[in-house]
Structure 1
C-alpha cells in the first residue's frame, strides 16, 4: 500500500527546470522555426537573402557563446573555420561534387580540422588560447592565398550554383541555412540539458577545480571545440552559397570574431536566448550602418565595451530579471511555494 506524498509546507523551496511560461515560450519558438520554412514562398527574393544572412549570424553567435559562455574558451580565431568551410566548398565543387552536398561535406571537414587543431590549441588557456586561435586562422588564410586554384588572393566564385534559377538557389540556400541553424540549436540544447552542460560550466568557472572533482576536462572541451568548428564551417560555406563570391581577406578576416563577440556580449553571454537576441540586433545594426566603413567597426567595439562594463549580463538579463522565464530552459532555478521563480542570467 502506498501513501500520497505530503504537500510542501508554505514557504518551502523546490528546484525546477521550467515553468508554464517557459513551456509556452519554447512551444512558440518551435512554431516560429516551422513557420520560417515557408519564407521563400511568401516573401521577396531580397528578404530571403537577408534572412539567410541573419541565420548565418545566429549560427555564429550560438557557436561562439557555446565556447566562451559555457566552457570559458574565448576564441578570436573562429574565422579559421568560417574560411575553411567556404574554401572547402569551392575545393569540392571544383572536383565535381554537387554544391549543396559540398556545403555539408565542407562543414564536416571543418569539424575534422577542429579535432586536429585541438591537439595544439586546447593545450593553451586564457589569453594564450585566444591568441593561438587567431594565429592559426592567419596561417590557414596564408595557405589559401598561396593556392592559385582557389583564386589566390583575388578571390573565387562558386560556379556550381550558376545552373540554378536565382529564386531556386536563394530558396535552397535559405532552407539549408535554416536547417543548420535548427540542428545546431537542438544539439546545443540537448548537450546543455544533459549533465555535460553542468560539467562544461564547471570548467568555465574553474578548470582545475572541475578536474579535481572528476570532470573529464579535455574530452569535454574537445567535443565543444569540434561542434563550434562544425558550426562555424557551416556558416562560412553558407555565406559563400548566399553571396557566390569570397576573398581570403574577408572570409578569414578578424572582423568575424568582432561580430561574434558583439552579438554574444550584447545578447547575454552564458545564456541560451542571449545570442539569438544579439544576432537579431546585430543584423539590424549592420543593415542600417554597415556602409559607415571603419566607424561602423569602431562603434561595434565601443558598444561591446559599454555592455561589458555596464550591462555584463546582456539584454536578455533585462527581460529575465523581470519575467523570470527561459524560452529554452537548460538550467535550474529555485521556486518558493506560491512565488515566482528565481533564476540567474546564466543557466546553472
Structure 2
C-alpha cells in the first residue's frame, strides 16, 4: 500500500467549490438584496475580518489583545482626516490609514511586548484609551462629540446613495475575502509554520532557531494595518465618527473575542462559524435590551465549559473536517486521516 503526504482533502475541495459559488451570489447582492440587507451583510463581512485578524494574533501568535479598538478607531479617524484636510479619495485615505497604522504599531509593539500574559492584555487596553483620549482632544475632528463626513467627500465616493451603498458593500466583501486569503496563505507559508510552532511551545520554537520576537512583531504590524483598514470601511458606512464610537471596547473587541471563542480559537473555520452564530443571536435577541448581553455572556460561558475548542472544535472532532487545509494528512488508497 502506498501513502503520500498532502494538505488537501475532499472536504476542503468541496468547501472551496461551494465558497466560490457562494461568493458569486454574494457579489451580486446589490441586485437582489434590499438596502437593509446590504448593510447587514456588509457589517457581517467587517466583523468576520476583525475576528480573523484577532484570531491570528491570539489564536496563533499568543498575543491576547483587548485593545484592537485602537486601530479600528485610528483607521476611522484617518479616513476623516485625510479626506477632509488632505483631499484624498476615501478609498486612498482608508489604505493610507492602514499604512500609517502599521508604522505606528512598531513603536507601540516595542513598548507593550515587554509585558506578558494578562499584563499585555491590559497594556493594549490602556493604549487604546490613550488613542481615544487623544482624538477626543482633536477639535478639528469634532473633539468629544465627533464629526460627519462632508457632503462633497461622500459624493466623491459615489454620486448616488444606491451607488454608495453598493460600493461600500463590495468593499466590505472584498476586504473579508482578502483578509481570509492572506491569513490562510500566511499560515501555509514557512512563517506560518514558525508561528504555529511558537503557539505550541515558545521554548521549543526558540530551540529550533525561530526568532519569536520578530515573528510576533510581524503578525502585530500586519494585523494592525488590516484592522485600521477595516475601521476605515466601518466608518465609511456610518459616515459619522466620535471617540466613544470609534474606540468602543464592546463593539470592536468584546464582540470580536466572543465570536472567536464560540467559533473556535486557533482555527480559520472558527471565526466564520462564530460570526454566523453571533449575528443570529443578535438579530434574534436584540429587542431584549441589556438581557441580550446577558444571554451572550451565558452562551460564551456554556460553550467554554462544554466545548473549550469552540463549535468548530466539536464539528472537527466528530467528523474529521478541515475546510481550510493547514495540517498535513497521510493519504493512501483506503484512508484520508489527519497526521
Structures share fold, TM-score greater than 0.5: yes
Q: Deviations over 1:68-118 (max 9, x none)?
A: 111111110000000000011111111211122212221222222222311
Change (3 A) 1:272 1:288: same
Offset of residue 151 of structure 1 = 1.2
| Alignment-derived partner of residue 315 in structure 1 | 311
Change (3 A) 1:70 1:206: same
| 2:154 paired residue among 135, 156, 161 | 161
| Alignment-derived partner of residue 63 in structure 1 | 53
Tell me, in whole angstroms, the C-alpha distance in 2 between the residues paired with 1:299 and 1:115.
38
Tell me, in whole angstroms, the C-alpha distance in 2 between the residues paired with 1:31 and 1:110.
34
Offset of residue 292 of structure 1 = 3.6
| Alignment-derived partner of residue 24 in structure 1 | 14
Change (3 A) 1:115 1:292: farther
Offset of residue 146 of structure 1 = 0.7
Matched length: 333
| 1:266 paired residue among 234, 253, 262 | 262
Offset of residue 250 of structure 1 = 2.1
| Alignment-derived partner of residue 77 in structure 2 | 87
Tell me, in whole angstroms, the C-alpha distance in 2 between the residues paired with 1:304 and 1:198.
30
Aligned partners of 1:79 and 1:254 also within 8 Å = yes
Q: Deviations over 1:26-70 (max 9, x none)?
A: 222133223322111221111111111000110011001000111
Tell me, in whole angstroms, the C-alpha distance in 2 between the residues paired with 1:307 and 1:322.
16
Aligned partners of 1:57 and 1:283 also within 8 Å = no
TM-score, normalised to structure 1, is: 0.90
| Alignment-derived partner of residue 179 in structure 1 | 174
Offset of residue 226 of structure 1 = 1.3
Aligned partners of 1:258 and 1:301 also within 8 Å = no
Tell me, in whole angstroms, the C-alpha distance in 1 between the residues paired with 2:200 and 2:120.
16
Change (3 A) 1:91 1:275: same
| 1:303 paired residue among 288, 299, 302 | 299
Aligned partners of 1:86 and 1:239 also within 8 Å = yes
Higher relative helix content:
2
Which moves more between the two structures, 286-295 or 72-81?
286-295
TM-score, normalised to structure 2, is: 0.92
| Alignment-derived partner of residue 283 in structure 1 | 279
Q: Deviations over 1:185-210 (max 9, x none)?
A: 11111111112222112212222331
Consecutive unaligned residues of structure 2, counting only runs of 5 or more, are none
Q: In structure 2, the residue corresponding to 1:341 is in which secondary structure?
A: strand
**Deviating runs (4+, > 4 A) in structure 1?**
334-337
| Alignment-derived partner of residue 28 in structure 2 | 38
Q: Deviations over 1:208-232 (max 9, x none)?
A: 3311221111121111111211221
Q: Deviations over 1:309-328 (max 9, x none)?
A: 22111111232223322222
| Alignment-derived partner of residue 3 in structure 1 | none
Aligned partners of 1:14 and 1:337 also within 8 Å = no
Offset of residue 291 of structure 1 = 4.3
Consecutive unaligned residues of structure 1, counting only runs of 5 or more, are 1-6, 344-348
| 1:141 paired residue among 128, 132, 138 | 132
Tell me, in whole angstroms, the C-alpha distance in 1 between the residues paired with 2:288 and 2:143.
28
